[in-house]
Amino acid sequence: MDLQNLTIVYRKAFGDEAPLPIAFGYSLKPEAEVVHQPRCMIGAISKVRHGQPLTLSADNVTCGGGGLYTAFKPMPERVPIFVSETEHYKQKPEMVKSFIADMDIQPAEKPYLNFVRLDHLKSLDEVEGIICFATPDRLSGLCAWAFYDNNDPLAVSTPFGSGCSSIITQAVRENRRHGRSCFIGLLDPSARLLVPADELTFVIPTCRLVEMMQTIEHSALFQKAYTLVRKRINGQIPAREA
């Protein structure tokens, strides 16, 4: 399946109102002007769903954690203490240090990190993964798709981390080791207000996407149970009351 057909089938699966996935990857060439970004990049990434590409670099990523998780900058010394004693996301700074060390983040070899909506993407060259912004009903379908040909308990996982860690770092790491895990993310409270209240992210590394592109039409997405969910997504049947 080519990218054009994937866009069409994705729309059929999740409804015409579903945001199309956003592809991201490192490049020697920027896809957009490198302009100053707000301290947290999540809002800027989310806006790519509207069609305009985004380019990040060491020059416009100003958040310490963002610089680390995009692999443009080393970890600032203050990050472990901030995550533990200010945000209270980990009990001890040592736990933060251990978590980051285990991720083994390698410095970016190319100067730009581009984000492009799926229907504007020409090829998967240089793409590390795709980001799907999903409501619970759409997330159900994405998980069903990922589980279809993969029995691994980590076929879909939700690792700890900042918003940018969950949608960039984990996918880059998985793609480069040719793994088969997908990642649910944006559980970071610090990033929640930058996206709609009913959305999380579902990230598919490119190496896994190549496999999943061949199974989407055969998965549960186009069978009876999810067809009914899709009707609810499209407003064709009402939500059941508890």
CA 110, CA 112: separation in Å to the nearest integer? 6
What total number of domains does the chain contain?
A: 1
Cβ count near 198 (within 10 Å) = 11
CA 40, CA 70: separation in Å to the nearest integer? 12
Name the E strands within the chain. 22-27, 54-56, 112-117, 129-134, 156-157, 182-185, 200-205
242 in any annotated domain: no
Whether the pLDDT of residue 241 is over 90: the answer is: no
CA 89, CA 143: separation in Å to the nearest integer? 26
pLDDT digits (tens, 9 = 90+) for 133-150: 999 999 999 999 999 999
pLDDT digits (tens, 9 = 90+) for 188-235: 999 999 999 999 999 999 999 999 999 999 999 999 999 999 999 988
29 in any annotated domain: yes
Whether the pLDDT of residue 25 is over 60: the answer is: yes
44 in any annotated domain: yes
133 in any annotated domain: yes
Which ranges of 71-205 would DSSP assign to H, the alpha helix? Answer: 79-81, 93-103, 136-147, 163-164, 170-176, 189-192
37 in any annotated domain: yes
Q: Kindly state the tokens that stand for 224.
A: 């009876």
Q: What pTM did the predictor assign?
A: 0.94
46 in any annotated domain: yes
Containing structural domain, residue 221: 3-118+128-233
Per cent of the chain over pLDDT 90 is 93
SS3 2: coil
What's residue 242's pLDDT?
38
241 in any annotated domain: no
Model confidence at 237, pLDDT cuts 50, 70, 90, reads: confident
92-119 mean pLDDT: 96
